A and B are shown apart, each in its own frame.
Chain A
Amino acid sequence: MNLKKIIPLVAVVVLLLGVISGCASKSGGSKGKQVIEIGSQSPLSGGSATLGDAIRLGAELAIDDQKAAFAKKGFEIKLKDMDDQGDPKKGVANAQILAADKNVLALVGHLNSGVAIPSSEVYEKNNLAMVSPATTATVVTDRGLKSVNRICARDDFQGPAGANFAVKTLKAKKIFIIQDKTAYGSGLAEQFRDQAKKLGADIVGYEGITVGEKDFSGVLSQAVTKKPDLIYFGGVYAEGGLIIKQARQKGLNMPIMGGDGLDSSSTVQIAGDAVKGVYLTSVAGDVSKTEKGQAFAKKYKEKFGKNVESYSAYGYDSAGVILKGIMNAINANDGKKPTREQVEKAIRGIKNYDGVTTKVSFNDKGDNTYAKVYIYKFDQAKYPPAQEAEISQ
């Protein structure tokens, strides 16, 4: 071999070795403390970014709060936040990334049930515990997965609670239902419809709309002819806000009711003044009611410069539950870093955790036995709405 060819070859080999050793020294650098990462998955871009971002920031705050306690034990805790874009495909891809990272022991995750369901199959395979602040579809926990937990209420509790309130308290006799044909929207609307029927209300219409459209006057004209005394919408604020606005323009001044998908400041932004007289059921409690919650809201505002959204405190409590579980697992493991299986068990085993908005005890399916449904009403065009009622299981 002639020398001219050998010199570049040697140069390349040296460069490669340098790169490899460079990487090695980097990963060996933080040897003083062991890293534990908490994953987070929620939509940080797209139509429900307002809610998704609130979950991430809540989790971040919880991790910041507990940094010192973990540092004492010799661990460094970090948040690994990912954007699921409210898209099941993206959620599953992110789940693979989280599962591959051995430092990730658990995650706060998913705003949308449709994303949580396929992603949790990946978590289950990898024993990665998920605590969801917001997924309400019944299927999420009904599959009996070991890794799946949630701290909020279920749709088969939220929908009927809304129907009870509509029929018994608001005295609605004729109800017009609109749903957005998604797993969340139609699931909620069906639960509402069945309970309302049982209570003797007349369902005068049950119509679907397409997500992404802006003109709902056709469906609403139909509502005008049916003269209902309550309109129920199963769906999210992007369409909900417009439906509220266009309904009021058509002179439909009866109460409009929706689920937790409307529980966002964006509903007010889109609907404007029309939002007055809108009721919503939410699985998220009003943090401004308790002292603990007010302190949380203040700290949140100071740190991020944003007001708390409905799910901020739930993101915080989800991360809190996870950290508590990990801490228990560390203690049970003689102060060594626990495995994912141990963390998974420890999280499921949590009883009477006292969070900012809710107490948490998981049952054997991973549902929170303390979860409540809250009913809110917009009296003025301002977020958050006023709490009207609080319903326990």
Chain B
Amino acid sequence: MLAQIIQNLPQVLIDGLTLGVVYAVVAIGYTMVYGILELINFAHGDVFMTGAFIGATVLFLMLGMGFLAAMPALIVFLIVIVVAGIATGLLGVGIERVAYRPLRRKNAPKLIALITSIGISFVLEDAVRFIAELKTGNYIVTAPSMFNHKFTLDIHHIMPFFDNATFQSSFLLVLAVTIVMLVSLDLFVNKTKWGMAMRAVAQDRDTASLMTINVNRVISVTFFIGSALGGATGVLFMIQYGTIDPYIGFILGIKAFTAAVLGGIGNIRGAMFGGIMLGLLEMFAAANLSLITHGAMGAEYKDVFAFIILILVLIFKPEGLFGKAVVEKV
């Protein structure tokens, strides 16, 4: 049994990492908004989905105009991801303006904003579904396949107790782009003036506003960055899995939120770590659960496994792996 699990490990790590980095970037969107507003923005999963659809639209437009044949795939990809990122960033700012800011101005309870975000999530899902199925009546969209060169990692040769692992070039792309996104976000938050303003607002909104920080603008910027990252990840998801539908945001959003909680909500590095860990756990469970339980529990219980780990972590460390225990603000 153990031998089989180890044999499979390289492949599981690669697949888990792909899923994990996607969770990680989406989790950042949750955690950033929570850090600043103490609002769980449930619409974020659907911003991610909208990003995937905007990316697909741009890709189809470019395909229609013959750009795809004329340009290297990497440049096409960069254009798509940048367009989708900016568009979803603006979408996020718009959502904040229309839905959350009026509530905040009226000092509405936080629960109201939370329910509003669930409403926004439904609006986004159905709006995208409506547009996607206008033409064909079928809302499952399949993107043209890109970056499907296959690699085989020949680990078996070096370490005979491992099996070979295979992956596609899209995996490298997803990994590279998310790492770039994560590192630059970390630098932005910790090294720039805007990042400092963001941290200040997160710490204490009222005091920050006394220190000449334009709180509303900082919140807008936060929504822009979180949503843009989410939308860009949607494009990565589309490239990696090829097929998207308007409901991908729901399950993935819930899992990314879980990842954010696992890492300690409000903590950006925690969200990154939580996402990657959740992806790895899930993939490990899907590949090995029936081996471990001798067929009593199949791969369908992978989420149960991942969430049991989450519960265990939260029992012993309720603030999450990287979270700091909250001291009551005075």
Interface residue ranges, A against B (CB under 8 Å)? 44-47, 49-50, 53, 181, 205-210, 212-215, 217-219, 221-222, 224-225, 238, 241-242, 245, 249-251, 266, 269-270, 272
Task: Output the residue of A206, A210, A219 with the most chain B CB within 10 A.
Answer: A219
Complex Cα distance, B283 from A226, in Å, reads 17
Please give the distance in Å from A268's CB to the nearest CB on chain B.
10
* 5 other A-B residue contacts (CB within 8 Å) besides A213-B251, A225-B7: A45-B133, A45-B137, A212-B248, A214-B243, A222-B286
Q: Are B241 and A218 in contact (CB under 8 A)?
A: no
- Answer whether residue B288 sits at the interface, using C-beta atoms and an 8 A cutoff: yes
| Nearest chain A residue, comparing its CB with the CB of B9 | A221
Please give the distance in Å from B102's CB to the nearest CB on chain A.
33
- Answer whether residue B287 sits at the interface, using C-beta atoms and an 8 A cutoff: yes
- Can you give 13 contacting A-B residue pairs, CB < 8 Å? A46-B139, A50-B137, A205-B290, A212-B251, A217-B18, A218-B286, A218-B287, A221-B287, A224-B11, A225-B4, A242-B243, A249-B150, A266-B140
| Given A215-B15, A269-B142: A208 touches B303 (CB 8 Å cut-off) | no
Complex Cα distance, B170 from A217, in Å, reads 14
> Which residues from chain B contact A49 at a C-beta distance below 8 Å?
133, 137-139
Chain B contact residues: over half helix, strand or loop, or mixed?
helix
Complex Cα distance, B138 from A44, in Å, reads 9
- Answer whether residue B242 sits at the interface, using C-beta atoms and an 8 A cutoff: yes
Stretch from B80-88, B93-101, B107-115, B294-302 that touches the partner = B294-302
Please give the distance in Å from B185's CB to the nearest CB on chain A.
24
User: Which among B15, B242, B283, B288 is the interface contact of A242 at CB below 8 angstroms?
Assistant: B242
Please give the distance in Å from B105's CB to the nearest CB on chain A.
37
Complex Cα distance, B251 from A218, in Å, reads 17
Near A by CB (< 8 A), chain B positions 258-315 give: 282-288, 290-291, 295, 298-300, 302-303
Q: Are A266 and B138 in contact (CB under 8 A)?
A: yes
> Which residues from chain B contact A46 at a C-beta distance below 8 Å?
139
Complex Cα distance, B251 from A209, in Å, reads 14
> Which residues from chain A contact B284 at a C-beta distance below 8 Å?
218
Complex Cα distance, B19 from A181, in Å, reads 22
> Which residues from chain A contact B137 at a C-beta distance below 8 Å?
44-45, 49-50, 53
User: Which among A45, A208, A251, A270 is the interface contact of B243 at CB below 8 angstroms?
Assistant: A270
Near A by CB (< 8 A), chain B positions 1-58 give: 4, 7-8, 11-12, 15, 18-19
Q: Are A222 and B138 in contact (CB under 8 A)?
A: no
- Answer whether residue B247 sits at the interface, using C-beta atoms and an 8 A cutoff: yes
Interface residue ranges, B against A (CB under 8 Å)? 4, 7-8, 11-12, 15, 18-19, 129, 133, 137-140, 142, 145, 148, 150, 152, 163, 166, 168, 237, 241-245, 247-248, 250-251, 282-288, 290-291, 295, 298-300, 302-303
> Which residues from chain A contact B287 at a C-beta distance below 8 Å?
218-219, 221-222
Q: Are B299 and A207 in contact (CB under 8 A)?
A: yes
Complex Cα distance, B237 from A217, in Å, reads 14
Complex Cα distance, B284 from A272, in Å, reads 28
Q: Are A249 and B166 in contact (CB under 8 A)?
A: yes
Complex Cα distance, B190 from A264, in Å, reads 52
> Which residues from chain A contact B140 at a C-beta distance below 8 Å?
47, 238, 266, 270
Please give the distance in Å from B277's CB to the nearest CB on chain A.
15
Complex Cα distance, B296 from A208, in Å, reads 12
Complex Cα distance, B251 from A250, in Å, reads 24
> Which residues from chain A contact B302 at a C-beta distance below 8 Å?
218
Please give the distance in Å from A106's CB to the nearest CB on chain B.
25
Please give the distance in Å from B138's CB to the nearest CB on chain A.
5
> Which residues from chain B contact A266 at a C-beta distance below 8 Å?
138, 140
User: Which among A44, A209, A242 is the interface contact of B299 at CB below 8 angstroms?
Assistant: A209
Complex Cα distance, B298 from A45, in Å, reads 32
Q: Are B283 and A208 in contact (CB under 8 A)?
A: no
The 5 residue pairs across chains A and B that have the minimum distance between CB atoms: A218-B286, A208-B300, A217-B15, A221-B287, A214-B241
Complex Cα distance, B296 from A206, in Å, reads 10
Complex Cα distance, B10 from A224, in Å, reads 12
| Given A207-B300, A270-B140: A218 touches B15 (CB 8 Å cut-off) | yes
> Which residues from chain A contact B290 at a C-beta distance below 8 Å?
205, 207, 222
> Which residues from chain A contact B150 at a C-beta distance below 8 Å?
249, 251
> Which residues from chain B contact A242 at a C-beta distance below 8 Å?
241-243
Complex Cα distance, B283 from A10, in Å, reads 73
